[in-house]
Amino acid sequence: MATKDFVDYSPASGSNNGSIDITVPRNPQTTPRSTAIAIEGGGGLSKTIAVNQNAALLIIGDFGRNSTEYGLWTTIQVNAIGIKGIAYCTMSDSSVIEKELNNTVNVVESEHCMFVSLEGRRVNDASKVVTFNMQTTLDFIGHADTLCELFIDIDFNSAKKNTQLDVTPFYESLVYEINDCLMTMYPDNHMLINFNIVDFDEAAKERIRSIVTCDRFAVTF
C-alpha cells in the first residue's frame, strides 16, 4: 500500500474493470524516494506498481537577468560533470525554452536568450567542479547554499568585459554569501572560486579578497 503523504490514488477500491488515478507531487527532498502501490483482485490476481522519483532540482542561479536590460544576449556554456538538471532560457519573445543540463549545456548568441536560470542535482561524485564560460561577463545571482552543496571548485571565464553593466557587485555578493554558508551551514566543506574575467580592477579584487574570512575558502584571479 502506498504512503498517502507521498502518493495519492483514487479510487481505493472497486469491482470489475476500471482505472486508478495516481497522483505524485514533486519531490521536495534532495534525495530520491520510492514507494509501491499493491493492487489485489479476485481469483488471486495482484499487481504491484513501483513509484520512483528523482531528487529535487536545486536552484543554482540566474545569469544575465540584469545584463539583458542593456541589450546583451546571454551566451554561456556550463560544464558540470555529475550534474543533471534544466537550463530555463527566457527568450526575446518572453517564451521559456527548457534545455537539458546533462553534465553540460550551451546557450549561443544566435538564440537571442535574455537570461538563463539553472537548476540541477548531483547524480555522481565524479567531479565537483563547475565551469561557467561566458562570451561577455554576465551578472550572476547565485544560490550560495546550492553552490556549496554541489561544488568545491567554481570557475568563471569570459572572453569580453561587460562594458554596459558593472558586474562587480554581483560577484562580491556571491563571495560574501558563500563565505557565510561555509561558516554557518557547511563546516566541513571547502570552496575555490577562480575568476578568469577582466572586469575587476585591483580595488575590486582587494575588496573581494577581504570578504573571505573562512580558511576553507579561497578566491583567485
Q: Look at residue 81 in the predicted model and tell me its pLDDT.
A: 96
The answer on 148 and 110 residing in a single domain is: yes
The answer on 36 and 65 residing in a single domain is: no
**Average pLDDT of span 92-120:** 97
The answer on 32 and 79 residing in a single domain is: no
The answer on 109 and 74 residing in a single domain is: yes
Q: Look at residue 20 in the predicted model and tell me its pLDDT.
A: 75
SS (H, E, C) 170-181: HHHHHHHHHHHH
Angle between helices 168-184 and 202-211 (to 10 degrees): 20
The answer on 94 and 28 residing in a single domain is: no
Cell of 34: 520510492
Kindly tell me if the per-residue pLDDT of 4 is higher than 60. no
Q: Look at residue 55 in the predicted model and tell me its pLDDT.
A: 67
For residue 11, whether the previous peptide bond is cis, meaning omega lies within 30 degrees of 0, is yes
Which structural domain range is residue 32 located in?
8-53
Q: Look at residue 11 in the predicted model and tell me its pLDDT.
A: 75
Q: Are 155 and 196 in contact (CB under 8 A)?
A: yes
Q: Which of 17, 32, 53 is the last residue of a domain?
A: 53
**Average pLDDT of span 110-114:** 97
Residue 184 belongs to some domain of the structure: yes
Cα–Cα distances (Å) from 218 to 117, 178, 211, in that order, read 26, 11, 10
The answer on 49 and 32 residing in a single domain is: yes
The answer on 48 and 150 residing in a single domain is: no
The answer on 157 and 68 residing in a single domain is: yes
CA 144/CA 124 separation, integer angstroms: 20
Cell of 183: 561558516
95 phi and psi angles, rounded to 5 deg? -75, 160
What would the pLDDT profile of 115-126 be if each residue is shown by its tens digit? 999 999 999 988
**Average pLDDT of span 96-120:** 97
Kindly tell me if the per-residue pLDDT of 1 is higher than 60. no
Residue 1 belongs to some domain of the structure: no
Residue 38 belongs to some domain of the structure: yes
What would the pLDDT profile of 5-23 be if each residue is shown by its tens digit? 677 777 766 666 767 777 7
Within 10 angstroms of residue 141's Cβ, the number of other Cβ atoms is 15
The answer on 21 and 83 residing in a single domain is: no
What would the pLDDT profile of 26-84 be if each residue is shown by its tens digit? 665 656 777 777 777 767 777 777 777 666 799 999 999 999 999 999 999 999 999 99
Instruction: Report pTM.
Output: 0.80
Q: Which of 53, 69, 90 is the last residue of a domain?
A: 53
What is the SS3 assignment for 194?
A: strand
**Which H or E element spans position 41?**
none
**How many structural domains comprise the chain?**
2
What would the pLDDT profile of 158-215 be if each residue is shown by its tens digit? 999 999 999 999 999 999 999 999 999 999 999 999 999 999 999 999 999 999 999 9
Kindly tell me if the per-residue pLDDT of 86 is higher than 90. yes
